[in-house]
Amino acid sequence: MTGEGEDGGERKSMIGKKPISRRRLMAYAWIGAAAIVVGELIFGTFAFLWPRRKGPKVETVFIAGKVTDFKVGEVIPFRKERAFILRTEGGFLAISAICTHLSCVVNWNEMLKKFEYPCHGAKFNRNGEVREGPPPRALDLYKLQIVAGNVVVDRANPIERSKFEPSQSVKG
């Protein structure tokens, strides 16, 4: 049995169909919401099992400049490369800008002559040794070479260390 609705459209008969109760509608809504939450939890958990998609290839080797560009005692930041070059009396150090605590980027404070870690307030001296805060060890070093008068840094395999030793400097 069909008829004409108030707006002139065709109306379908509800004969033989049981109307849904408010209680059942709420149950369906809760089941749907729970299914969405469980689905997100499962997806989020399994997302950690697959390796991350690799972004654009980043060069690990870079030329920091000529040996003569660096003054003794000066710390030069290389933001894009996340590194600092320090020229000491004994040679050069290529210090990682990645903190050994939670991998935040450290900053060089020229006025205080120390590295500062913004995430938890740690401080490192000029050579990258921990002076305050939670980091478990000194900042990592990168392999550094002097090639044809240029300071060349390779960031591929950071060198872990507990403290500074003069033998870590590369003569130049």
Tokens coding 98: 């990645």
User: In b/e form, how buried is each residue of 20-29, taking b as 16+ CB within 10 angstroms?
Assistant: eeeeeeeeee
pLDDT in tens, 33-73: 999 999 999 888 887 777 666 666 668 899 999 999 999 99
Q: Any residues with CB less than 8 A from the CB of 155 and at least 6 apart, and which?
A: 60, 61, 62, 81, 82, 83, 96, 142
DSSP 44-98: HHHHTTSPPPP-SPPPSEEEEEEGGG--TT-EEEETTTTEEEEEETTEEEEEESB
Residue 99 in contact with residue 140, Cβ under 8 Å? Answer: no
Task: Give the pLDDT confidence of 64-109 residue by residue, as tens digits.
Answer: 999 999 999 999 999 999 999 999 888 999 999 999 988 889 999 9
Per 3-state DSSP, what percentage of the chain is helix, strand, and coil (rounded to 5)?
20, 35, 45
Topology of domain 61-168 in CATH is Rieske Iron-sulfur Protein (2.102.10)
Report the distance separating Cα 5 and Cα 17, nearest Å: 18
pLDDT tens digits for 14-29?
Answer: 677 788 889 989 999 9
Mapping DSSP to helix (H, G, I), strand (E, B) and coil, where does residue 113 land? coil
The pLDDT of residue 121: 85
Mean pLDDT, residues 126-133 taken together? 92
The pLDDT mean for the chain works out to 87
